[in-house]
Amino acid sequence: MIVDMRKGATPEEIDGVVERARSLGLDIQLNLGTDKTIVAILGSNTGQLPTDIFAVLPGVENVARIMKPYKLASREFKAEDSIVSINGIEIGGKRIVVMAGPCAVESEEQFMKAARTVKSSGACIVRGGAFKPRTSPFSFQGLGKAGLELLVRARERFSIPVVTEVVDTHDVSQVSKYADILQVGARNMQNFTLLTEIGKSKCPVLLKRGLSATITEWLTAADYLLAEGNSQVILCERGIRTFEDSARFSLDVCSIPVVKKFSHLPLIVDPSHAAGHYSLVPAIAKAAVAAGADGLLIEVHPNPKEALVDGLQSLTPSDFARLMKELRRIAKAVGRYI
C-alpha cells in the first residue's frame, strides 16, 4: 500500500502515518522526494486493510494499493529514476557507465594489466571475481581473500572503483570491506538469505537476473535488498535460458524498456555472458546502449587464450578499445555519453 503525502506535509503528519502503520504490526519505507513524501506500507496482510485507515490521517493526499508482487522497486513507490553513486560515478543518469575486466582474478600480473587496459580505454569501474561459483566443483573457484586484496591494490594504483561477486552470507562483511560494489550472480538471484544480508550491509549491489527468471521475479528479488534500507541497487540483464542454443544465453533486450517502464532502478547489461563468444559481444553491447541501458558489464582479459574462466567470451584489450570508440557514437546518437 502506498500513501502519498500532500506537498508540504509536516514531519508530524508523516510520523502520524508511520506510527499508525507500526501500531498495526506493519513495516514502512519512506521515499523522501523533493516535492513530497511517499510512505510504503508493507506487510502480508495489507490487502485485507481498508485504505481509509490511512486516508483519513492528516497530511495524506492519496492511498493506493500496489498490485504487483514487487513494491519498493516499483514506479508507484518512486516515480523518478534512482541514481546510484559510486565514488562520484553516477549510474542511472546521462552517462553510460562501463564496467570491465576479467571474469576472475587469476594473478597480480593478469589483473593489473586488465585494470590498466580497461581504464585507459574509458571504463570507469573494473570488474573481477575473487569468489567464483562454478557449475563443476573441479573448475577454478577463484583466489578468495587473495583476490580481494588484488582488487584493492588495483583500485589504489589506478584510482578506479571495483565490483566483485559475493556468494555466501558469511562473506558479505568481508567482501564489502574490499569492494565498492557487491555483485549477486544469476545463480544467487533468489538466494533470499544472501540478499537480506547484503541489504543490511548498505553496500551498493549489482543484482543479475536469474537464468530462468521473469522480470517480475527479478524485481521482487530486488525488493529483498531495498526492504533492508539499501537503496543502492543496480539491476543487470545477462541473458536468460531459452530453447535457442546458438548463443550461450538469449539476451532479453525487451527487458530494458520494460524495466524502465515499471521500475525506478538503474539497469545495465552484461553482453559477455549472453553471447558466450567474443565475436558477438560488440553487437549486443551496442544494442543494449541503443535500447536504453544505463551501463555495460564487459569481460576483458589481457590474454583470453590463457584465461582460467570464460576466455571464449572475453575481449582482448585491442577489441575492447575499438568497441569503446564505437559505443561512444551510439551513446551520442541516443542523447547520452560514455
Query: Which residue from 317, 285, 284 is spatially nearest to 300, judged by alpha carbons?
Result: 317
Burial class (CB in 10 A: 0-12, 13-18, 19+), 36: middle
Band (36; pLDDT cuts 50, 70, 90): confident
- Region of 313 please: left (phi>0), alpha (psi -120 to 50) or beta: alpha
Residue type, 316: T
What percent of the chain has a predicted confidence (pLDDT) above 90? 87
How far apart are alpha carbons 165 and 142 in whole angstroms?
11
Higher model confidence: residue 302 or residue 34?
Answer: 302
Burial 225-236 (b: 16+ CB within 10 A, else e): bbbbebbbbbbb
Q: Please tell me the predicted confidence (pLDDT) of residue 44.
A: 78
pLDDT score, position 34: 75
Cell, residue 28: 514502512
**Full set of structural domains in the chain with CATH:** 2-64 (3.30.70.1140), 84-333 (3.20.20.70)
- What's residue 138's pLDDT? 66
**In which band, very low, low, confident or very high, does the pLDDT at 33 lie, cut at 50, 70 and 90?**
confident
Report pLDDT digits (tens) over 177-214: 999 999 999 999 999 999 999 999 999 999 999 999 99
Residue 16 in this model has a pLDDT that exceeds 80? yes
HSE at residue 287, side-chain half, CA atoms within 13 A, is 17
Residue 111 pLDDT > 80, yes or no?
yes
Arithmetic mean of pLDDT, 59-86? 93
**Strands, E assignment, the chain:** 2-5, 27-32, 37-42, 60-64, 84-86, 89-91, 97-101, 125-127, 162-165, 181-184, 205-208, 233-237, 267-269, 295-299
Mean pLDDT in residue range 123-138? 85
CA distance 302 to 80: 40
Average pLDDT, the chain: 94
Q: Which three cell numbers stand for residue 338?
A: 560514455
Identify which of 127, 175, 123 has the alpha carbon closest to the alpha carbon of residue 149.
175
Pick the range with the lowest mean pLDDT from 30-39, 112-121, 295-304: 30-39
Query: Does residue 80 register a pLDDT over 90?
Result: yes
Question: What is the model's pLDDT at position 14?
Answer: 95
Quick check: 97 pLDDT over 70?
A: yes
Give the β-pairing of 27-32 and 37-42: antiparallel
Provide mean pLDDT across the span 147-172: 96
Can you give the pLDDT at residue 134? Answer: 66
What region does 326 belong to: left with phi over 0, alpha with psi -120 to 50, or beta? alpha
Cβ atoms of residues 194 and 172 within 8 Å: yes
